[in-house]
């Protein structure tokens, strides 16, 4: 949990970007930040802070494989490979003749690594969703408690007012 720091004039300082916000602001006014200002856990920062080097690579790989460039790179790669090895071009290397066994092997290795990285990345995403859900639950429980507290105060006040009215009559 993060306690909010305030300036002398009551402005709230964002714990993430350290920008100053008016006291009644709910979210950080900084465009790139926009974090909720309150005593909340900052799940995304916490989550990114726990990231191990292999998970960092997995995230990069999964973001690249889901990008259209991934397909373009492979089309170009296959076109060059086939052109070099099918004897159309004179002086070409011809290092992997039809049916391109070396290309198949390389693609098999690539598929194995990509599958592994995608699974790592997916697990991380699932963990992140769980952390978000836990935060939602925590906020709900805290809201519920505060509400119950307020209801009991209102009930108590109501009783006091009623007893004062009774005494007066
Ligand atoms: Zn901020």
Alpha-carbon gap, residue 82 to 79, rounded angstroms: 5
> What confidence tens digit (pLDDT) does each residue in 56-109 have?
999 999 999 999 999 999 999 999 999 889 877 777 778 898 899 999 999 999
- Cα distance from N-terminal residue to C-terminal residue, the chain: 51
For 63, counting Cβ atoms within 10 Å of its Cβ (0-12 exposed, 13-18 middle, 19+ buried), the class is exposed
The domain total for the chain is: 2
Alpha-carbon gap, residue 66 to 161, rounded angstroms: 64
Q: How much distance in Å is there from the Cα of 150 to the middle of ligand 1? A: 30
Would 45 be classed as within a structural domain? no
**Quick check: pTM over 0.75?**
no
Do 58 and 129 share a domain, yes or no? Answer: yes
Q: How much distance in Å is there from the Cα of 11 to the middle of ligand 1? A: 13
pLDDT of 31 above 70: yes
CB 137 within 8 A of CB 124: no
Do 57 and 103 share a domain, yes or no? Answer: yes
Q: Angle between the 101-168 and 53-65 helix axes, to the nearest 10 degrees? A: 100
pLDDT of 1 above 90: no
Q: How much distance in Å is there from the Cα of 121 to the middle of ligand 1? A: 27
pLDDT of 121 above 70: yes
- 48, 35, 60, 53: which is closest to 118 by C-alpha? 60
Would 57 be classed as within a structural domain? yes
Q: How much distance in Å is there from the Cα of 57 to the middle of ligand 1? A: 27
Q: How much distance in Å is there from the Cα of 166 to the middle of ligand 1? A: 53
Q: How much distance in Å is there from the Cα of 110 to the middle of ligand 1? A: 40
pLDDT bracket for residue 2 (50, 70, 90): low
């Amino acid at each position: 949990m993060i306690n909010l720091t305030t300036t002398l004039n009551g402005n709230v300082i964002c714990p993430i970007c350290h920008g100053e916000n008016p006291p009644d602001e709910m979210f950080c006014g900084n465009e790139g930040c926009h974090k909720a200002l309150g005593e909340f856990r900052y799940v995304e920062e916490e989550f990114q802070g726990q990231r191990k080097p292999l998970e960092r690579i997995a995230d990069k790989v999964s973001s690249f494989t889901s990008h259209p460039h991934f397909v373009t790179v492979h089309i170009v790669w296959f076109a060059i490979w086939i052109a070099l090895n099918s004897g159309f071009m004179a002086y070409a290397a011809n290092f992997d003749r039809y049916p391109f066994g070396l290309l198949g092997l390389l693609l098999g290795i690539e598929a194995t690594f990509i599958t592994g990285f995608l699974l790592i990345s997916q697990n991380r995403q699932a963990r992140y969703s769980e952390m978000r859900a836990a935060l939602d639950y925590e906020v709900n429980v805290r809201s519920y408690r505060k509400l119950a507290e307020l209801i009991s105060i209102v009930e108590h006040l109501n009783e006091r007012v009623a007893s004062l009215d009774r005494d007066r009559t």
